[in-house]
Amino acid sequence: MAFAMFDITMNHLSYFKHQVVVLSLILFCCNSTSAQSCNIINLPDTIAACKAHSFILPATVTSSDSIISYLWTPSTNLSATSILNPMLNATTSAWYYLEIKSISPTNIVVNGDFSAGNIGFSSADTLETPSLSLPGHYTVLTDPSVFSAFSHIGDHTTGTGNMLLVDAAKIPGYAFWCEALSVIPNTDYLFTGWAALLYPPVPIVQVTVNGVNAGSFSTTLVKGQWVQYQTTFNSGPSATMNLCLIDLNTAGVGNDFVMDDISLHRLCDAKDSVYVSISTHDTLYKSVNDSACSSSGHITLNAPVGYGSYIWNTGSTAASISISNTGSYWVNATSGGCSLFVDSFYTYVKPSPVIYLASDALICVNQSINLSSPEPQGAQYQWSTGANTPFINVADPGLYRLTVTMDGCSTSDSTTVSKLHAPTVQLGSDTMVCSGNTFTLDVKSDFATYLWSDGSSAPNLQINETGTYWVTVSNICGTATDSINVEYDLCNIWFPSAFTPNGDGRNDILRVGGSLALYKDFSLSIFNRWGQRVFFTQNIYAGWNGVFNGAKQDLGTYFYYIYYTLEGKKSMMKGDVELIR
C-alpha cells in the first residue's frame, strides 16, 4: 500500500502552554489507477471540423462531487487547459483528453468536529476532566483557557464549539485518536485536520492506516493559530480502515495541543476523449460501392456523423437517403460554416428474376400436373419439395413454393394444387307425394354443371306433379346420371298451419290429422329457422307442445317434414307452421 507522507515537528512544550500549532490535512486529487470514477464526462466520439476553424470543445459533466480541477491534454491549439470548455483552433486531426479530479462531499469520520463530545472515536490516552494534570491525558472542551496554563482559542468551526485537547504523549506509538471506518477498497482518500499549538515543544503527529504510517509532519508554529494540513493515501484491498493519530514526541512537559474538524473524503478521477477530425478536401470517408436487388426495394446511404448539415446530389438534406436506382451519389457536409465533400457512393441495383407460377390448380384423382416458371440460363431453382429443376411434376394436393435466384437476387412464388373426384349422383328411391305439396330434388356437387330433364341447370329441381325426372352432373373428371319416379296422389292426412301452445286447452298441441290408422312408417320432424330440429316422433298420434329442452320456444315460423307409407307407397309432405301465443 502506497501512502503520501507529511511531517509536523512540535517543540516540546511546558505544561503551561503558550504556542498554538494547527494540524490540517487537505487532499489534492491524485491520479491513481485504483480510484473510482465519481464523474460522468460526456464527450462525442468524433468532431469533424474545418482546418483553422475555432470552436468550443463540448464537454459536460454529471457529478455529485466537488470538482477540484480540469486538465486537457495536449495543450496544442487550446485556449486553456484547466477549464471545462476551452476553445480549440485545430490545424491537424488529433485526440484530445479531459481528466477531471473531484472530492466527495461526504465526511465518513464520525464526530470529526467533536460537537457530540467524547464519542465516535477511541484513544489510548486517558480521559481526564475537568482538569489535566498528567501527560498521556486528553479531554473534549470548548476553550483551553479553562485551564490557567493555556490561553484562549476558539473552536475552529464556529468559535464556540468543541475541540480535542491532548496533554503530551505518554508512550511512543500510543494513538491519542482512532476511528474504525468502512471504505471502498483500492480507492484514494483525503484526510484533513486542524491543529493549534498550546505549549511547546511542538508535537510530532503521525497519521496511520491499519497500523501503517500514512504521513507525518513537523513544523514550528505560532501559538494560538489554527493550521490546516492534508495527506492522501489509498485504502488498499480491505473494506475497513483503522485510522489513527499518534504523537511521536514523548516530552512530558509542554507538547500540548488541540485538534478539530478531522475528516476523510473519497477522491475521484475521471477521463474521456474526443477525436477531432480536420478536413480540408474530399475525405472519401467511406467511398462505398454497394449493390442491391431490385426486389429489396432500396439501399440506405448514411453520411458520416458529427457535421452540422448535409446536402446530397439528390437534393436531400437528411443524414441518410434511400435509393433504388443504379448510379453515383455523394454528400457535402457543413461544420461551423465549413463545407466539405465528405463522402461518395456508387450503387448498383441488380434486376431480380421474374417468376410466375400458374394460379391454384385443380386435378382429378390419379392425375398429375407440371409446375414451372422458366428463367434464362444460369438461374438456380429451389422448390419446397427439395427439387432444384426448372419444373416439377406433382400428383398430391398441397402448397408448392418456388424460389428462383440469379446473380444473388431471389424471387419466390407459390401455388396450391387440389384434387377433384368424378361426380356421383343419387336422387333417391321412387316416392309418392301428397297432392298440393312441392317436392325438391337436390344434387349439389363441387365444381360441377347440371342438366335436368326439363333443361334447367340449377343444383336442384322443384316438382309438383307425377313424372319421371333425371339429372346429369358433370365436372372435368367425369359425368354421372340418375333418375326418380315421383307420383302425386290425394292423401287423407293434414297438418295445421298454426298452433297456440298457451295452456288454455285449445290448439295447444301440434299434430297431424286425418284417417291416421291407414298410415304406416310414420315420422314427424319440426325444425326452427336455424335448421335445428326441435321435435321428432314416430308416433302418428303424438304432437309438439312448443317446448324444446325444457324451454318455451320463440314465436315465429317453424318447418315440418312428414314421412309415411300409404297402401304400400312411400310419401312425404312438408311445409311451415306458425307458433302463436
Beta-bridge partners for 411: 404
Q: How far is CA 368 from the centre of its chain?
A: 52
Q: Which residue has the cell 491520479?
A: 31
Q: How far apart are CA 179 and CA 107, in angstroms?
A: 13
Q: Look at residue 14 and tell me if it is in a domain.
A: no
Residues 265 and 138 in one domain: yes
Give the pLDDT confidence score for residue 16 in this predicted structure: 27
Q: Look at residue 529 and tell me if it is in a domain.
A: yes
Q: What is the pLDDT of residues 332-379, one digit of tens each?
A: 887 656 666 667 777 877 777 888 787 788 888 888 888 887 766 778
Q: Look at residue 25 and tell me if it is in a domain.
A: no
Domain end call among 325, 350, 375? 350
Q: What is the pLDDT of residues 149-199, one digit of tens each?
A: 888 999 998 778 999 999 876 676 789 999 999 999 999 999 999 999 998
Residues 260 and 169 in one domain: yes
Q: How far apart are CA 235 and CA 140, in angstroms?
A: 29
Q: What is the pLDDT of residues 61-101, one digit of tens each?
A: 987 788 888 999 999 899 999 999 999 988 888 999 999 98
Q: How far apart are CA 563 and CA 517, in angstroms?
A: 15
Contact 269, 37 (CB under 8 A): yes
Residues 260 and 139 in one domain: yes
The phi-psi region of residue 52 (left if phi > 0; otherwise alpha if psi is between -120 and 50; otherwise beta) is left
Residues 253 and 201 in one domain: yes
Give me the torsion for CA of 129, 132, 134, 135, rounded to 10°.
100
Residues 260 and 185 in one domain: yes
Q: Look at residue 22 and tell me if it is in a domain.
A: no
Q: What is the pLDDT of residues 287-345, one digit of tens each?
A: 556 777 766 667 888 887 777 788 888 889 898 888 878 888 888 887 656 666 667 77
Q: What is the DSSP string of 127-151?
A: E--S---STTEEEEES-GGGSTTS-
Query: Which secondary-structure segment (H or E) carries 310?
Result: strand 309-312
Q: What is the DSSP string of 556-576?
A: EEEEEEEEEEETTEEEEEEEE
Residues 540 and 525 in one domain: yes
In the predicted model, what is the mean pLDDT of residues 466-470?
A: 93
Segments forming the whole domain that contains residue 483: 431-488
Q: Look at residue 321 and tell me if it is in a domain.
A: yes
| 17-31 b/e (C-beta count within 10 Å ≥ 16 → b) | bbbbbbbbbbbebbe
Residues 257 and 304 in one domain: no
Angle of CA points 163, 169, 171, to nearest 5°: 140
Q: Which residue has the cell 442491391?
A: 292
The phi-psi region of residue 238 (left if phi > 0; otherwise alpha if psi is between -120 and 50; otherwise beta) is beta
Question: What single-letter amino acid sits at 268?
Answer: C
The model's pTM: 0.43
| Alpha carbons within 13 A on the beta-carbon side of 284 | 4
Domain count, the chain: 6
Residues 265 and 286 in one domain: no
Beta-bridge partners for 393: 370
Closest CA to 102 of 41, 21, 158: 41
CB neighbourhood size of 280 (10 A): 12
